[in-house]
Structure 1
């Protein structure tokens, strides 16, 4: 049995894959803890699972409202300073208490930002596994390093010094970690960055269809993710395109509603996004990796209206794979969106079984296998060190 402690911060698309892996590791018999946002604690505390909150609910709601600032390099540092750094301070304190008397522990974290896990890994000499949940974790690593180690230098230095870390910040930030890419290699090859691929990971499966009453059939599902990253313009142009195309559409968003006069139906929540995707013919989304992976697994063509952060690159990857259409922001008009909707609905009719994902269960199992490998290596190293110490003492 291994001692594995995971930490995850961000939106639903960042946290859900980590939770899926944490739960699977616990089901394998390991002693597992997860440090994440209070908003997820009640959902994750199933069967006595050990979950710890790094924030208050109001803190997280404030982040969801402010995280559109991550779309702009000029404001991203302030989002990190106001939200991610306080979470790192609290999260690191929780991690520190969890690893006490557990020299065999391994830490697992989102690759970005992952500050708390990096602090405790360096302070305690524990191995670190970084989960890359989207390709831009790799492509923008240098920019994140610049922001953390230069623009936020004073804040991060003070935090690092409180854990006895006196090395140069860039050296600390580059501490070697085993990196796992939570998407298949065909989507984007991360092996050149030293990543091992697992596949798309999330917590639900389309087999849950039978567990819920069938809703009214939908031509189009519109989702902008769990935060405000998609923006109001995404909602406006997506609903306008559906109205022009005359489709039966549903918008799921806790932050935005359809414009007045739109025929698009609105729900702030659904019982299962996986089920909602599976019961729609096509999906309009903002390019988040969680939604993309579920659409690919369900075989649903996608219209991607992506802006800011990693999402435009994700959208181009979907289009290049033949799984959807990506419209750049300069083509966000009602007529352009309506034309794309009609094309995708025709494609869905002619190619109803399209899918290229490997399935979440297999990806989660691969992730667990690779994390276990790190844990076994750690235990072997500690056993070797104990053997050497015993030999030295017996020879003295």
Structure 2
């Protein structure tokens, strides 16, 4: 039996993927513990997990778009989260004595502490941009991030001449996608693309009004991510206007705060949160922000997408889906109702989109998902 310590940020998409891998490790007889904000992790993982708490502090908002959004993500969250949690991560490593530390790319303290302790560590890459395109399109932001990472390395007392980018483990990088989506990028040998890590036993799944679903209509799921409420307020009215004339053939479920979706027609159901994995077998199309978790969950079920990317890695992921033939990209800020409606009917009615989504789904199944990720971590622990 080996001991694995997961270091993750308190973000559902990141924790859900890591949680699926952790449960696969537990099923193989290993021991697992977590480092992070305790209340958030227990809500997402359940009360039965071992959590070494880091505490939580306010972080900067995420209203920016484009290059400014990426820099604000790092400046307002990723870097201060790493500095704030590093002492707690060090205490957890000393107390738990793991064989391997599994580190989300946005929880950099895990990489710094594991390196200082001489422990093997694996990077968990829950997004597209830094796995496949390390910010080449934004050289100034890339240079700024790299300079801050190098400074943080030295702040942790690590020798400058031994610097390793803490986003990318030299031992193992786990990507929750496959080349069917990323394209034929030349990944190093220690990169393992295992496909999405899905687990239907998520403890935090919400209640849902299943009786309200109409089997005579094509079901469309709309989810713009957990952090998009402020910036999506203008998008939802345009989307509702796009859906309004489709009531004879489409039923939509929008996962959003009800006050952000004004006056939905009867065939549009608005819920604060949706049990996505339970809904997907019934869904004909997904409208989303092109977050990698949502995209891969949909494609794992062979469901085509309409994507309105907002920021961060989402344009990269949307471009990958379009290149794979499994979806359509629309403009988040400027698409009018007619354009949104045309995109939705195109993916619903054109068989090539579903066929392409099915090909990606086959690649995901072959890659192995959470079970394959657990095997790679197991090998790292015994190497």
Counterpart in the other structure of 2:3: 3
CA–CA distance in structure 2, aligned partners of residues 341 and 308 of structure 1: 21
Q: Secondary structure at the match of 1:232?
A: coil
Q: Secondary structure at the match of 1:100?
A: helix
Match of 1:91 among 72, 85, 90: 85
After TM superposition, the score normalised by the length of structure 2 is 0.81
What stretches of structure 2 of length at least 5 have no aligned partner? none
Q: Deviations over 1:3-54 (max 9, x none)?
A: 21111126322221111111211222222112234323234135x3212343
What stretches of structure 1 of length at least 5 have no aligned partner? 378-396
CA–CA distance in structure 2, aligned partners of residues 212 and 24 of structure 1: 30
Q: Secondary structure at the match of 1:186?
A: helix
Q: Does 1:310 align with 2:313?
A: yes
RMSD: 3.5
Q: How does 1:110-125 map to 2 (within 5 A)?
A: 110-111=104-105, 113-125=106-118
Distance change in 2, residues 1:359/1:233 (3 Å): farther
CA–CA distance in structure 2, aligned partners of residues 353 and 86 of structure 1: 40
Q: Is the 8 A contact 2:129 2:313 kept in 1?
A: yes
Distance change in 2, residues 1:214/1:147 (3 Å): farther
Computing the radius of gyration from Cα coordinates, the structure with the larger value is 1
Counterpart in the other structure of 1:320: 323
CA–CA distance in structure 2, aligned partners of residues 191 and 371 of structure 1: 23
Q: Deviations over 1:60-80 (max 9, x none)?
A: xx66xx2343x4323543443
More helix by share: 1
CA–CA distance in structure 2, aligned partners of residues 342 and 205 of structure 1: 33
Q: How does 1:366-381 map to 2 (within 5 A)?
A: 366-377=372-383
Counterpart in the other structure of 2:17: 17
Match of 1:146 among 123, 130, 143: 143
Q: Deviations over 1:258-298 (max 9, x none)?
A: 1346553311123x111223323221111011111111122
Count of aligned pairs:
361
Q: Does 1:137 align with 2:130?
A: yes
The structural deviation recorded for 1:101 is 6.8
The structural deviation recorded for 1:55 is 3.7
The structural deviation recorded for 1:367 is 0.5
Q: Name the stretch that deviates more: 350-359 or 283-292.
A: 350-359
Distance change in 2, residues 1:107/1:78 (3 Å): same
After TM superposition, the score normalised by the length of structure 1 is 0.78
Q: Name the stretch that deviates more: 221-230 or 73-82.
A: 73-82
